[in-house]
Structure 1
Amino acid sequence: MLDLRFTPRDPDEPNRSATPLELLFDLASVVAIGVAAQGLVESIEAGRTMAGLIDYLCSFFMIWWAWMNYTWFASAYDDHSPAFRLLTMVIMFGALMLAAGIDAVFDRTPILLVLAGFSAMRLAMVLFWIGASRGDPERRTTARRYAMGITLMQGYWLVAMTAVMPSAPLFLPLFLVGVAGELSVPALAERHAATPWHRGHIVSRYGRLTLIVLGQCFASIVLTIQPEPEPSLLDAGRLWQAFLLAVITFSIWGLYFTDDPHLDNSGYGRALLWGYGHFFIFSTIAAAGASMRLLTEGTGETPLGNGVLGLALACLAATLWIVRDRYRLQGVARWWLPCLAIMLLLLTLASPAPLEAIALVLVIGTLLRRRTPPHGAPC
């Protein structure tokens, strides 16, 4: 008989790293992210750019939210018990179900499979929090608030998303209400007593997922190098394009993984902003990979593909400034990333710039940012 009781971990535990089970969970989530990115590509190719972007962000939210909730819980309560591992596997299977149903989001057909996968992931989290309430008396109220909030929101999703077709005008407003409700659950629950999550472990987990999502860019680069229908031949034009895409991918890595810490303190407000802000970081990196695939599957560079890539990179730079750099840097260097975001945005809005211009601006911005030494105390 499994003992549903999860005791808290030490938030100052030395050398805390991701477990193989957590990395396996990341892979399940990235499969769903890849399906969502492919749906975005197909929507753009079909001339449904704005609708496809909305569908992509909605499906990405469900994937990211389930991943984030599990990640922060595991940081605080992963006791390596059979019950913990079993519930983790249930959530992973839910992620795979969600991935299998994402096409329905883009087709604007009933999203029953997505709801089933999301429900499996969320109800497993309810059991996790019930176990935490039994194993952590000090934070019992916090755990119960989480369990109750998740249960209420899951009821909302089941009613709202089955009562209204995805093609109905009311669907998006109802979805946004659900997003607001979900985001409020941790904010309300943690006010009573913060869970003992491990700062270094959380930063490491987010960094690992960033690397895995960057794999979407690498996959697009490989497809660019291989010309059709004879993949054994070398095409100088495609090879140059692949080189530029690789430069952009390496620059994304350089912007994210700087020498100064991402989350330099465990303050309540900072943790929420940093954790929530990564929705835009993860989704824009995946969207950048999708735009690269759009260029690859076309006949070369296209204004639309370059435009999506430029907008994604501008959003990435702006988000990194909001969640990290405005706290860590001082003086002129503090404004490197906002300036980079504006430059990329201007390149995109004026008229989608050539890939060479996007790569050059991004490389210069990345080098300037990485040459900036970290400062001590946050602002």
Structure 2
Amino acid sequence: MSEDAPHGGPPPPSVVRRMTGRGREEPHRTATPLELFFDLCFVVAVAVAGRELVHALAEGHAAHGVPGYLMVFFAIWLAWLNFTWFASAYDTDDVLYRVVTLIQITGVLILSAGIPRAFDHSDFSVVWFGYLVMRLALVSQWLRAAHSTRGAERRTALTYAAGVSLCQVGWLGVLFLPDRAKPWVFLVMACAELAVPLFAERNWQTAWHPHHIAERYGLFTIIVLGETVSAATVAVQSALEESEELGELLPMAAGGLLLIFAAFWIYFAVPIHQHLASNRQSFLWGYGHYFVFASAAAIGAGIEVAVEQAVGKAHVSTFAAAGAVTVPGALFMFLVWLFHSRHYKRGPAQQLVLPVSALAILACTFAGGSAVLLTGLVASATVGTGVWLSTRNPRPAEA
């Protein structure tokens, strides 16, 4: 046994390593325990955002709740996105890197605490401060990368540091401008945030790892779907404690579970890392996942609303409660096809499975109290159809 690993385990991390790109061809690149811990802390933020969406929809305030949810979820997703792509390219896993990442996690938790105020009162002060903590840590990482590199790679790191800093200043608009201007500030700043990587990497592409990135997105999908399962389970449990309407609740629980299982199956049916050859493919795929993640998380909120409506706790119609499930469910099916799985579909039959399924799920909205169960059955049929078509036209993966 070595002195570095007296008990046979891995050696302790170095205090500081030179922060250079890890390489896209690095073998056996997988998510680290620190990245998994980072993702786990986002469960809190996703859960809080979903809970606020449930309250808004259950009270019939969809016009306020949906835009608020999309804005808050963008903040959650962007924080995760910034860390994920940087870590894929420059994770040194030394002591300094770990400490700075833990600081970023602290910012995530502060952001989570501020979501209710942002959602209910358009008060983004706590969210902004949480972002400040995360951004200071992230900028320090980019500056560290710039210090360790030269030439075009160094300019790219410095551009990232400057762009992220300027955007953080720009978000001050949501603190000081009138409420009616905040949606426009959000749109402008969201575009600015998404433009930073496009501008920074115009001459040098950071060394993110395709398989690692695909795994990281897959893990976040699991987190979002897991939170959806948790939210739906708690909703059914709470309803059972206050009502004996098993005839309505059990079909809803079954339908919701089938929908979530199908969503998992469909997303992980393709080896998407083979598609991520360069920034040209990865930017559209990576940015499009904002809508994929948001719709997946909203499914759980929708199931909660449907359950509350069934036991008389939600002040919305049966049609509206059904739509709270079918709309995000249909969006998830279509968006997964659009951004993710269509790259591996062969022929018109396979290409049409998910778009047609999305339309069929939307049609389930008119099924009244049976909408959730019917939606789950349609989603299950989608998986079955995909598997059957893949056996007729074999390929590495399909659903």
- Fold shared, TM-score > 0.5 on shorter chain: yes
* CA displacement at 1:334 relative to structure 2: 1.5
| Residues 1:275 and 2:286 aligned together | yes
Quick one: distance in 2 between partners of 1:228 and 1:350? 21
| Deviation by residue 1:129-161 (Cα, 9 ceiling, x = unmatched) | 111112232511111111111111111112x11
Q: Hey, what's the Cα distance between the residues in 2 that align with 1:304 and 1:323?
A: 28
- Check 1:338–1:272 CA distance in 2 against 1; reply closer, same or farther (3 A cut): same
**Aligned match of 2:254:** 243
Within the candidate set 164, 168, 184, 1:154 is matched to 168
- Matched to 1:317, the amino acid is M
Distance in 1 of aligned mates of 2:161 and 2:369: 47
State yes or no: 1:119 paired with 2:132: yes
The change in CA–CA distance for 1:46 and 1:231 in structure 2 (over 3 A counts) is closer
For residue 156 of structure 2, what is the aligned residue in structure 1?
142
Partner residue of 2:341 out of 300, 305, 325 = 325
Equivalent residue, structure 1, for 2:305 = 294
Q: Is the 8 A contact 2:267 2:341 kept in 1?
A: no
Match of residue 108 from structure 1: 121
Residue equivalent to 1:369: 386
Question: Percent same amino acid at aligned positions?
Answer: 35
Q: Which residue of 2 aligns with 1:8?
A: 21
Q: Deviations over 1:32-90 (max 9, x none)?
A: 01100101001112221121010001000011001011001101111111111111111
Higher mean C-alpha deviation, range 39-48 or range 103-112: 103-112
CA-based RMSD: 2.5
Query: Are positions 1:341 and 2:358 aligned together?
Result: yes
- Could you report, residue by residue, the CA deviation over 1:213-250 in whole angstroms, capped at 9, with x for unpaired residues? 11122213422553557489894542332122111111
Deviates more, 1:224-233 or 1:107-116: 224-233
Pick from 189, 196, 201 the counterpart of residue 190 of structure 1: 201
User: For residues 11-50 of structure 1, what are the alpha-carbon distances to aligned partners after superposition, in whole Å with 9 as ceiling and x for unaligned?
Assistant: 2122211111111110111210110010100111222112
In the alignment, the residues of structure 2 paired with residue 107 and residue 50 of structure 1 have an alpha-carbon distance, to the nearest angstrom, of 13
1:181 is matched with which residue: 186, 189, 192?
192
Report the AA paired with residue 36 of structure 2.
L
Per the alignment, in what secondary structure is the counterpart of residue 282 of structure 2?
helix
Name the residue aligned to 1:216: 227
Structure 1 residues 117 and 46, CA, compared in 2 at 3 Å: closer, same or farther? same
CA offsets 1:152-188 (integer angstroms, 9 cap, x no match): 1111112x112214xx211101110000000000111
Q: Which moved more, 1:227-236 or 1:139-148?
A: 227-236
Of 279, 301, 321, 1:305 maps to 321
- Superposition deviation, residue 7 in structure 1: 1.9
Q: Note the 1:225-244 alignment, pairs <5 A.
A: 225-226=236-237, 228=239, 230=241, 235-244=246-255
Distance 2:16 2:325 in 1: 48
In structure 1, what is the Cα distance between the partners aligned to 2:239 and 2:281?
48
Indicate whether 1:358 and 2:396 are aligned: no
Counterpart amino acid of residue 318 in structure 2:
T
Q: Residues 132, 295 of structure 1: CA spacing in aligned structure 2 closer, same or farther, 3 A cutoff?
A: same
- Contact 1:227/1:238 (8 A) holds in 2: no
Q: Contact 1:36–1:102 at 8 Å: present in 2 too?
A: yes
2:171 is paired with a residue of what secondary structure? Answer: helix
* Distance (Å, rounded) in 1 between the aligned partners of 2:123 and 2:142: 30
- Whole-Å Cα distance in 2 between the matches of residues 47 and 241 of structure 1? 20
Q: Secondary structure in 2 aligned to 1:126?
A: helix
Q: Quick check: 2:254–2:376 contact (8 Å CA) kept in 1?
A: no
Structure-2 change in CA distance of 1:347 and 1:297 (3 Å):
closer
TM-score, scaled to structure 1:
0.91
Give the TM-score taking structure 2 as reference length. Answer: 0.87
Number of positions where the alignment pairs a residue of Structure 1 with one of Structure 2: 373
Candidates 100, 109, 112, aligned match of 1:96: 109
- 1:256 aligns with 267
1:205 and 2:216 aligned: yes
Counterpart of 1:302, as a letter, is T
CA distance in 2, matches of 1:94, 1:311: 32
Q: Displacement, 1:120?
A: 1.2
Gaps of 5+ in 1: none
CA–CA separation in structure 2 for the residues paired with 1:342 and 1:84: 46
